[in-house]
Amino acid sequence: MEAKIFRFLKLVGVGFKARTEREGRELFLKLGYSHEVQFTAPPAVRVFCFKPNLICCTGIDKNRVHNFAGAVRNCKPPEVYKGKGILYIDEVIKLKPGKKQKK
């Protein structure tokens, strides 16, 4: 399979890790829950982990690759106060200010 479409995801947070098994068919995520989150890639989509916090979804069908990357991202979307979660590599999160201190 010659991959033409790539979608990179970045895990931001303490203890957030990813690993793949079965030649890129299964993705396991540690996201701070009491259990590992498991994803099975659809046909014509492969998943690779270059680092424990960098995921690459590749394939030949743009729709399937983007749908799978979106499903992985929905597991822990980035939050706006600290910026933790799963984000696309080219995504910029505008952080909100916290509560103001009374003086």
Residue of 31, 74, 25 lying closest to 52 (CA atoms): 31
What is the average pLDDT value for the chain, to the nearest integer?
A: 92
Asked if the model's pLDDT at residue 1 lies above 80, the reply is no
CA 83, 5, 86 angle in degrees (round to 5)? 15
The predicted-structure confidence for 41-80, as pLDDT tens digits, reads as follows 998 899 999 999 999 999 999 999 999 999 999 999 999 9
Asked if the model's pLDDT at residue 81 lies above 70, the reply is yes
Cα separation, 57 vs 3, whole angstroms? 10
> Any idea where the domains of the chain sit in the sequence?
5-88
The predicted-structure confidence for 11-40, as pLDDT tens digits, reads as follows 999 999 999 998 889 999 999 999 999 999
Identity of the residue numbered 18: A
Asked if the model's pLDDT at residue 3 lies above 80, the reply is no
pLDDT the model gives residue 34? 93
Q: Which residues of 29-64 are buried (b: 16+ CB within 10 A; e: fewer)?
A: bbbeeeeeeebebeeebbbbbeeeeebbbbbeeeeb
CATH architecture of the domain formed by 5-88: Alpha-Beta Complex (3.90)
Q: Which residues contact 48 (CB under 8 A, 6 or more apart)?
A: 20, 24, 55, 56, 58
